[in-house]
């Protein structure tokens, strides 16, 4: 193994079932169902997935859902807005902990 | 016009302007042969169900040089159909019960005999489709009355608009194309095209601006209708979502952008036998500007002539054409991926 991430590995995702077929099948069945049109459209779900891919910083997911959102008819503006949603939540999640810091600061200050 | 940013591959003497080089490259991807895929799904040989549509390419001349064009059309292409060949088309059409004549190019309107040809077809009572690139309508004063001409002959207008924004449209079709397309669409709407109850059909064609597959036609149509209405007050009837086939300039784009192998794999993995069963070549014949006969416009650009007795209009043999097997090759995966693709949109 020369690198931790290899773009070719994305194509092998389905092979995770080799080591545990039953759970692998359950996962992929579940995964397939999640992304079907439902109360949310498949396109809305794809944009959510693109945002989450960035939040979890998964290069495989970013590659897959960049293509998938394009294949759902999204343009670059919509895709970048989705990334900003992830960014806002991530940075908000950092900043809201500032309240905890302030609480503690106040607790131990005169 | 500000859209002439490239030369055709032919004018560049590019290797991929030669059909044998394209066919060789299609084999080099080293993927399951399309024929084998058909065999595995019980569809080989792919046979015809009749000759319902004549798709006629009246020439490679065009006012645009789109990056994905499988015809390698452009202002530098001088191959256009003569009046004699058009007459051969009319004679051949008379020998069939075809319902539809689908005119394509290049920009078909640039052929000086285009209007005469439409008049003849219209007089025969055929449904006439014109694949209009929109910008031709505003390219020169002599084309400004095209919407009225189309209306007079109840031509169905089918026009490419890759997206409802300028950036995606212009990146594929040339700078300024979106703005001019919007102007042309307004002119078509003004005479009734795309307006409910007018009986005048204006359909749009989406194809991806890059190395990816088209979205769901239904979802995209709703999006296009809303955006074009809200932003530009433009109406149209249906949207066709078409897959780009690895032929000519799109093939060159795939190679140059290092997307060729990945795109081909994507097409193969998305093979759908239901889409394969509905491919348009089963009910269509495609006529080249010089009168040769092909299964489809893509086979025409790869110079894969029909497997029938008469390969030229001068030897038109309907019985042989109706009983022919379709010539297939690796590019055919483009019509069978996902929901399928044809000049009328999805097939599955």
Kindly list the residues from chain A whose CB atom is less than 8 angstroms away from the CB atom of residue B168. Answer: 75
Q: Cβ separation of B165 and A75 shorter than 8 Å?
A: yes
Kindly list the residues from chain B whose CB atom is less than 8 angstroms away from the CB atom of residue A77. Answer: 165
CATH number of the A13-109 domain: 1.20.1290.10
At B143-158, the pLDDT tens digits run 999 999 999 999 999 9
Q: Who's near B170: CB < 8 A, 6+ residues apart?
A: B176, B177, B178
CA B323 to chain centre: 24
Token digits for B33? 């042969």
At B249-285, the pLDDT tens digits run 999 999 999 999 999 999 999 999 999 999 999 999 9
Round to whole Å and give the CA distance between A97 and A108: 17
Q: Cβ separation of B208 and A70 shorter than 8 Å?
A: yes
What is the pLDDT, as a whole number, of residue B1? 39
Pick from A42, A43, A75: CB nearest B168:
A75
Per-residue pLDDT tens listing for chain A (110 residues): 688 899 899 999 999 999 999 999 999 999 999 999 999 999 999 999 999 999 999 999 999 999 999 999 999 999 999 999 999 999 999 999 999 999 999 999 99
Res. B333: pLDDT tops 60:
yes
CA distances from B253 to A49, B18, B61, B67 (A): 29, 15, 21, 7
Ramachandran area for residue B345 (φ above 0: left; ψ -120 to 50: alpha; else beta): left
Round to whole Å and give the CA distance between A20 and A16: 7
Residue of chain B whose Cα is closest to the Cα of A44: B219
What is the pLDDT, as a whole number, of residue B6? 78
Chain B interface test: which of A40, A65, A73 (most B C-beta within 10 Å) = A73
Provide residues of A within 8 Å CB-CB of chain B. Answer: 41-43, 67, 70-73, 75-77
Q: Cβ separation of B219 and A75 shorter than 8 Å?
A: no
Kindly list the residues from chain A whose CB atom is less than 8 angstroms away from the CB atom of residue B214. Answer: 71
What is the pLDDT, as a whole number, of residue A16? 95
Kindly list the residues from chain B whose CB atom is less than 8 angstroms away from the CB atom of residue A70. Answer: 208, 210, 212
Q: Cβ separation of B165 and A71 shorter than 8 Å?
A: no
Residue of chain A whose Cα is closest to the Cα of B216: A72
Res. B115: pLDDT tops 90:
yes
- Minimal CA–CA distance to B287: which of B264, B310, B266? B310
Q: Cβ separation of A73 and B167 shorter than 8 Å?
A: no
Kindly list the residues from chain A whose CB atom is less than 8 angstroms away from the CB atom of residue B213. Answer: 71
User: B163 at the A interface (CB within 8 A)?
Assistant: yes
Res. B140: pLDDT tops 80:
yes
3-state secondary structure of A70: helix
User: B223 at the A interface (CB within 8 A)?
Assistant: yes
Round to whole Å and give the CA distance between B251 and A96: 51
User: B220 at the A interface (CB within 8 A)?
Assistant: yes
- Minimal CA–CA distance to B266: which of B248, B250, B281, B244? B244
Give the minimum alpha-carbon distance from B28 to chain A in angstroms, rounded to a whole number.
19
- Please answer whether residues A42 and B216 qualify as being in contact, where contact means their C-beta atoms are separated by less than 8 angstroms: yes
User: Using alpha carbons only, what angle is made at residue B58 by residues B140 and B161, rounded to the nearest 5 degrees?
Assistant: 60
Residue carrying the six token digits 């069978």: B336
Largest Cα separation within chain B, whole Å, is: 54
Res. B5: pLDDT tops 60:
no
Pick from A41, A67, A75: CB nearest B219:
A41
At B228-259, the pLDDT tens digits run 999 999 999 999 999 999 999 999 999 999 99
- Please answer whether residues B325 and B279 qualify as being in contact, where contact means their C-beta atoms are separated by less than 8 angstroms: no
The mean-pLDDT minimum among A25-34, B137-146, B168-177, B202-211 falls in B168-177
Number of Cβ within a 10 Å radius of residue A89: 13
Give the minimum alpha-carbon distance from B40 to chain A in angstroms, rounded to a whole number.
22
- Minimal CA–CA distance to B321: which of B277, B287, B274? B287
- Whether the CA torsion B178, B2, B16, B54 is positive or negative: it is positive
User: B213 at the A interface (CB within 8 A)?
Assistant: yes
What is the pLDDT, as a whole number, of residue B2? 39
- Please answer whether residues B147 and B127 qualify as being in contact, where contact means their C-beta atoms are separated by less than 8 angstroms: no
How would residue B4 be classed by pLDDT, with cut points 50, 70 and 90? Answer: very low
Q: How many CB pairs under 8 A join A and B?
A: 29
- Minimal CA–CA distance to B282: which of B326, B216, B219? B326
Round to whole Å and give the CA distance between B9 and B242: 23
Domain boundaries, chain A: 13-109
Residue carrying the six token digits 């075809």: B98
What is the pLDDT, as a whole number, of residue A2? 82
Quick one: A108 exposed, middle or buried, by C-beta within 10 A (0-12, 13-18, 19+)?
Answer: exposed
Ramachandran area for residue B193 (φ above 0: left; ψ -120 to 50: alpha; else beta): beta
Pick from A41, A67, A76: CB nearest B212:
A67
Kindly list the residues from chain A whose CB atom is less than 8 angstroms away from the CB atom of residue B165. Answer: 75, 77
Average pLDDT, chain B: 95
Give the minimum alpha-carbon distance from B270 to chain A in angstroms, rounded to a whole number.
13
What order of strands is seen across the sheet that includes strand B156-160? B239-241, B202-206, B156-160, B127-132, B100-104, B53-57, B284-287, B293-294
């Amino acid at each position: 193994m020369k690198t931790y991430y290899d773009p070719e590995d994305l194509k092998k995702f389905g092979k995770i079932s080799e080591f545990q077929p039953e759970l692998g099948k359950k996962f992929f069945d579940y995964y397939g169902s999640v992304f079907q049109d439902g109360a949310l459209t498949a396109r809305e779900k794809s944009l959510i997935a693109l945002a989450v891919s960035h939040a979890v910083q998964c290069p495989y997911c970013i590659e897959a859902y960049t293509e998938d959102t394009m294949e759902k008819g999204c343009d670059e503006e919509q895709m970048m807005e989705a990334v900003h949603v992830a960014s806002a939540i991530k940075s908000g999640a950092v900043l809201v902990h500032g309240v905890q810091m302030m609480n503690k600061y106040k607790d131990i200050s005169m | 016009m500000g859209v002439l940013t490239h030369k055709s591959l032919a004018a560049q003497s590019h290797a991929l302007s030669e059909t044998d080089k394209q066919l060789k490259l299609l084999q080099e991807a080293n993927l399951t042969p399309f024929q084998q895929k058909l065999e595995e799904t019980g569809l080989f040989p792919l046979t015809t169900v009749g000759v319902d549509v004549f798709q006629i390419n009246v020439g490679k001349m065009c006012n645009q040089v789109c990056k994905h064009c499988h015809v390698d059309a452009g202002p530098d292409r001088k191959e256009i159909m003569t009046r004699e060949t058009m007459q051969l088309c009319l004679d051949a059409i008379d020998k069939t019960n075809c319902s539809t004549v689908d005119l394509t190019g290049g920009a078909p309107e640039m052929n000086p005999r285009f209007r005469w040809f439409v008049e003849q077809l219209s007089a025969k009572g055929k449904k006439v489709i014109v694949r209009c690139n929109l910008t031709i309508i505003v390219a020169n004063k002599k084309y400004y009355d095209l919407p009225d001409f189309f209306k007079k002959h109840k031509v169905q207008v089918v026009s490419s608009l890759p997206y409802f924004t300028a950036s995606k449209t212009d990146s594929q079709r040339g700078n300024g194309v979106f703005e001019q397309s919007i102007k042309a669409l307004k002119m078509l709407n003004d005479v009734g095209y795309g307006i409910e109850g007018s009986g005048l059909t204006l359909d749009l064609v989406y194809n991806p601006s890059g190395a990816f597959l088209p979205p769901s036609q239904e979802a995209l149509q709703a999006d296009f209708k809303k955006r074009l209405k809200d932003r530009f007050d433009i109406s149209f009837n249906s949207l066709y979502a078409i897959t780009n086939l690895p032929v000519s300039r799109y093939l060159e784009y795939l190679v140059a952008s290092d997307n060729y192998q990945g795109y081909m794999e994507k097409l193969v993995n998305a093979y759908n036998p239901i889409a394969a069963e509905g491919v348009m070549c089963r009910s269509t014949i495609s006529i080249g500007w010089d009168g040769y006969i092909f299964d489809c416009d893509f086979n025409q650009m790869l110079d894969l002539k029909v497997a029938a007795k008469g390969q030229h209009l001068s030897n038109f043999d309907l019985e042989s054409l109706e009983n022919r097997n379709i010539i297939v090759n690796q590019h055919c995966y483009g019509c069978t991926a996902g929901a399928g693709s044809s000049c009328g949109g999805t097939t599955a």
